[in-house]
Amino acid sequence: MKAWLLFLLLALAGAGAALSANVAAPQGTTTVALPPDVGPTFKPGPGAGVARQYCTNCHSPAYVANQPPLAAAQWTAEVTKMQRAYGAPIPSDAASTIVRYLTAVYGKP
C-alpha cells in the first residue's frame, strides 16, 4: 500500500493521527514537593477535634469545609460512606459525634 493511502486510512479510522517522525518518550525522574495543607481548617464547635482526628487521616478539612450546607441525613451518609466504602476505622460513638458536629457547623440552617 502506498504510504499516503495508509496515512489517509489511518486518519479516517480515527481522530488520532499517525506520526511519521520518531517521538521521544519521557526519561528520568520528576520530583515534586506537594505543598502543605493551607486550609481551610475545621471550624470550631463541639466535636471538631474528633472530626480532625479521624477525617484528616485521609483527606484535608477542605473536603468538608467547601461543601454547601448539607442536611443531617446527607452528613450521615457521607460519614457512613467513609466507614463502609473507604474503610475508615471510625468507632460508632466517634461517628455520631462527627455527624453532630458536621450538622451543627456545616448543616443547613
Partner 1 sequence: MDRSRFLLSVGSALGWLSLAQGASAQTAVTLPFVNGERRLVAYPQKRPLILQTPRPPQLETPFSLFDEGAFTANDAFFVRWHLAGIPESVDASTHRIAVTGAVRRELSLSLEDLAAMPVVEIVAVNECSGNSRGFFNPRVPGGQWANGAMGNARWTGVRLRDILARAGLQPNAVQVQFRGLDEPVLPQTPAFKKSLDVDVARGDDVIVAFLMNGEPMPLLNGFPVRLVVAGWYATYWVKMLSQITVLDHADDNFWMKTAYRIPDTPNASVAPGSTGFPTVPIDKMNVRSFVTNLIDGATLKAGPTALRGIAFDGGSGVRRVDVSLDGGATWSNAVLGEDYGRYSFRLWNFTWDAKPGTYTIAVRATSRDGATQSATPTWNPSGYMRNVIETYKLSVA
Contact call for residue 44 and partner 1 (CB under 8 A)? no
CB of 14 to partner 1, least distance (A): 3
Of 9, 39, 46, 53, the one binding partner 1 by CB under 8 A: 39
* Per-residue burial over 54-85, b = 16 or more CB atoms within 10 Å of its CB, e = otherwise: bbeeeeebeebeeeeebeeebbbebbeebeee
Contact 90, 83 (CB under 8 A): yes
Binding span for partner 1 by CB under 8 A among 30-38, 42-50, 92-100: 30-38
| Residue count, binding to partner 1 (CB under 8 A) | 45
